[in-house]
Structure 1
């Protein structure tokens, strides 16, 4: 709520699968210390985290075998080896799936680029309009395809933007006005970067997604920094998101997200306040503030 200018992460014509696999594994090793996984720590380390040989030991594979995986050659690895590496690296389920997609894309089937954003089915827009909470629908590329009036009140009047500007990542990284609606914009930005990387792994040939990532890399130093962390996540459902609004100040919303079936991949994103809370009262006040819908 992938490509960039750093040499190891350029992706101007699609995702560099082997480069992504190499950098992803290195970044996951770097976040683990020997003492975190029950290994003794010997000698001074030039770089943080586990060494390759330590990771291979934890995964129960030879150093040469793991080194080949980290060099980007995962096609010959068995599912058991990838699972062992994922366990040794303490990957989340999203991260494990990302590892498999990068190492052996054939196990995931042939990924297809999503078609250009389309209009929402009328029934989906009716659903949005009938919800009593802020809600919107995004594509795999995080384009905002539809929303309700309360979402426009909370996040900003997206009807005033061009279709190209209606993208949650582009707004978070390139629009100060949109960022100001979040009390913790750094956390929101990290989630957006993680969602883009995860989605790029699902569709590495998607040139539109690659061009979006390239644009963000060129225009936002923050995006380049967060992209280099190789986080893979679209956020956790049930997360609390603290909002900031000029009319009611700061208030908390609970984030939920679910896939919509049919056609191109889309997700319905909703936010609600805890019953009886001050945040619920703030949301109720915003709901009473009339915003003329223009789409």
Structure 2
């Protein structure tokens, strides 16, 4: 019998008399979003708490709008040690925080909110760590990113931390693949990170040749959309698909079939959660623990 509901409303989360509190630890963290019932974050964080003997509980709260996140920041009890934030609340998380890390400010969104103990909140974006862990895994398979060109498919929320991670890997140039000129929304970020920028449409004949010159393709779009152009994307020397539902995506399966170095969204999820775990608890999770936990999802 589940004693803590799979998803809590804001009222349930904030109500000290709600039944679930009797089964929670002294310290509480939560993931915020809408929809949120699919989130694997509780699996990752709670497994880490058990492994390290920490008096923490991690739950899901349905909250995606700025007004909802503001209510949580203003009224949550001192037992709350942090929030993970997924869509659609990442922009609001940045705007509502009292202070931000440099990378969250640069990217323009936050997936992590941490109370500073004086009633204020700090925002960070650990999605960068998640993408960086994937790039490190690909590099361990023999791909050199230094001075290379990379392709980012999509121009939404996950594309921005992908750009920051590519800059940290010493990539020289980024091509954004998108349906329209909205790809230009990433130009200032790419160039601000010291990299060259161009973009191509998803249906452009030049897409295959563009990818064939890339050290990696990072797809941040839904699996069905990436599948439509997968033959072109698979011309790159490696592939990172941040989508993990369905698993594997057609793009990831294609990379596996071709023997291309690759990384997936589950590895990214574990990578970003490692830094969140440390920010929330003050303890770094044992190396590889969260990745091992998420591997159970791959095997289902």
TM-score of the two chains, using structure 2 as the length reference: 0.26
Structure with the higher strand share, 1 or 2: 2
Which structure is richer in relative contact order (CA contacts within 8 A, separation 6 or more)? 1
